[in-house]
Amino acid sequence: MIESSQTETASTTLKYGMVGGGEGAFIGDVHRKAINMDGMADLVCGCFSSDPENTLRTGLGLGLDPARLYKTFEEMAVAEGKQDEPIDFVVIVTPNNTHYPVAKVFLENGINVVCDKPLTVTSAQARELKELAEARGLAFCVTYTYTGYPVAKHAREMVRNGDLGEIRFVNAEYAQDWLSTLLENTDQKQAGWRSDPTQSGASNCVGDIGSHIESLVAFMTGLRIKRLSARLDTMVDGRVLDDNASIMVEYDSGAKGLYWCSQIAVGNDNGLKVRIFGSKASIEWAQENPNYMKISYLDQPSQIISRGRDGLYPGAECFSRVPSGHPEGYFEAFANIYKPFITFLMKQKQGQTTLPEDQDFPKAEQGENGVRFIEKCVESSKNNSAWVDLD
Ligand SMILES: NC(=O)c1ccc[n+]([C@@H]2O[C@H](COP(=O)([O-])OP(=O)(O)OC[C@H]3O[C@@H](n4cnc5c(N)ncnc54)[C@H](O)[C@@H]3O)[C@@H](O)[C@H]2O)c1
């Protein structure tokens, strides 16, 4: 198939602001580029850094009106909430400990929120944000990036459709090596805050990448973790938080799982891989080769399906953007989180009926589940890897 399956650019655009993502930051720029991909929302304001000079440089570089570049996120939330046409949503891409106060003040000022993961540093904060958004009738999206890949969505549809039979076991890992040395003792900013419990929360490795495993497996399988036993290790001398974790889980269905996340796995970049074993078939998907998935039915040769060539379920196919063999990746996955979210907001704004598929983006509920998972891993590990219930 060689034609594009995508609808064209929307006729109206929404307006958004950003907190974080200043000069020298990592993920904010990825969000901006991913949002631009579908041309459905324009960046109009920001507080890109706690350093106002950085915010000014970043904002002017992005062509924004200096009057809408703010010294603090509180000032931005209040001022934007009072505009004749307030921004339709804010994107929060700051270190973990700031997500809660930033999201809270924007919700309080009537603004829809997109927040990067982990949603907050405590599950009580996450629950409060979820309830606040519900009470105000505001949309809340948590950017669990990897759930945006079309093939990951196809895995979800296969499980929903019973193609794998009853799920028995899940094996998932996220292996990186970028913290194999004490990088936080250099001026590497991303390593600095992630290794600092006051900014990162009670866990570094589980919070940063174990949370991606939890969200992606929950997304693909629909299984809820009932209890877990975790061992968090700090392998690099002098480091304060965990850099490697081994986690056994039991789901409410009775299925079992084994997760491993590591930032000291020499030779690995962003090795997120999920294998789901059912009574009829298994699937294996790896983030670094995201356009393909291995499917094995019992007593049959394994097959590799290819996004764009082999038909995916409709709920996945509609997210495929270019023909097979032209790799789609990280930016497209991010854009696939934003596309339904922005469509949902546009329809709401125009008084149109919204469809269930317009809400195919991770929400505060998934964000809260993620933070509870991190908390319970830390609790278990502190108690000699005792089994702890999630509810
Ligand atoms: N979804 C993903 O795949 C993914 C990937 C990377 C990071 N993240 C998450 O995104 C967040 C940011 O991570 P990063 O690696 O981009 O960090 P970063 O350190 O590169 O960027 C953080 C930015 O926030 C700004 N900032 C800090 N405090 C601020 C404040 N009070 N007001 C305004 N701006 C402030 C900093 O100046 C910087 O520009 C983290 O929560 C991280 O877990 C998610």
Q: Which of 70, 114, 116 to mutate to test the pocket of ligand 1 (most atoms within 8 A of CB)?
A: 116
> Is a pLDDT exceeding 90 seen at residue 12?
no
| Contact 370 CB / ligand 1 (< 6 Å) | no
Task: Tell whether ligand 1 has an atom less than 6 A from the beta carbon of residue 143.
Answer: yes
Helix (H, G, I), strand (E, B) or coil at 356: helix
Residue 160 has pLDDT above 90, yes or no: yes
Taking residues 266-274, what's their average pLDDT?
98
Domain ranges in the chain? Answer: 14-146+338-368
Mean pLDDT of 240-259: 98
Pairing of strands 292-297, 140-143: unpaired
Domain 14-146+338-368 sits in CATH at 3.40.50.720
Atom of ligand 1 nearest to the CA of 193: 19
The set of residues, in sequence order, having a beta carbon less than 8 Å from that of 289 and lying 6+ positions away, is none
* Residue 297 pLDDT > 70: yes
Residue 11 has what pLDDT? Answer: 55
Q: Determine if ligand 1 sits within 6 Å of the CB of residue 95.
A: yes
- What is the rounded average pLDDT of the residues 259-277? 98
Is 184 a pocket residue for ligand 1 (Cβ < 6 Å)?
Answer: no
**pLDDT tens, residue by residue, 300-319:** 999 999 999 998 999 999 99
Task: Indicate whether this model's pTM tops 0.85.
Answer: yes
Counting ligand 1 atoms within 8 A of each CB, the residue from 18, 23, 26, 144 with the most, and so the one to mutate, is 26
User: What pLDDT, on the 0 to 100 scale, is given for residue 387?
Assistant: 98
Identify which of 23, 27, 141, 193 to mutate to test ligand 1's pocket (most ligand atoms within 8 A of the CB). Answer: 27
Mean pLDDT across 108-114: 98
Confidence of residue 4 (pLDDT cuts 50, 70, 90): very low
Let me know the angle formed at the C-alpha of 133 by 128 and 137, rounded to the nearest 5 degrees. Answer: 150
pLDDT tens digits, one per residue of 215-231: 999 999 999 999 999 99
**What are the angstrom distances between the C-alpha of 89 and each of 38, 52, 78, 330, 342?**
16, 21, 13, 22, 9
Q: Which residue has the higher pLDDT, 206 or 4?
A: 206
